[in-house]
Copies of this chain bind each other. A is one copy, B any other.
Amino acid sequence: MGKLTIGCFASLVGSTNLDFAVKLAGAALDKGHKVDLWVSGNGTMLSLQEQRAFKDYSYLEKPVKELMEKGLNVTACEACAEARGYHDSNTLEGVKRFSMDWYLGSTFDADRVLHIGGE
């Protein structure tokens, strides 16, 4: 079993990039891999708590919480989050916040890295 680091830099609602990242993370965990998920840029939207669940919009809080219980490690870029008004006080429980070096640190011993940039 290996380690997969996913970096997702795109936004939550509309583009399905974060939806894709979360589903892929789930599939990798199910196969016994360790998974780190780094969200940066607009992708930090994932880390904000109390997003309302509407059927017209992606709603990832529930699947992310379930995957964190299975071991998914989610970290948001602190500066990208702060610039958007997402602070420690309104971050989803269990999601960590670090500076960008965390992502590089995660890639150090990753067997595979999937960096979702493309916006």
Chain A contact residues, CB within 8 Å of chain B: 11-14, 41-42, 45, 48-52, 54, 56-57, 59, 79-80, 82-85, 87, 90, 119
**Residues of A contacting B: mostly:** loop
A13-B80, A50-B85, A52-B83 are known contacts; what are 16 more A-B pairs with Cβ within 8 Å?
Answer: A11-B11, A11-B42, A13-B83, A13-B84, A42-B42, A49-B85, A50-B87, A51-B84, A51-B85, A52-B85, A54-B79, A54-B82, A57-B79, A57-B80, A57-B83, A85-B90
Copies of the polypeptide in the assembly: 2
Which of chain B's residues has its CB closest to A49's CB? B85
Shortest 6 CB-CB distances between A and B: which pairs?
A57-B83, A51-B85, A48-B85, A52-B82, A50-B85, A54-B83
16 contacts between A and B (CB under 8 A): A11-B11, A13-B42, A13-B80, A14-B41, A14-B42, A45-B84, A49-B85, A50-B87, A51-B82, A51-B83, A52-B82, A52-B83, A54-B79, A54-B82, A54-B83, A90-B90
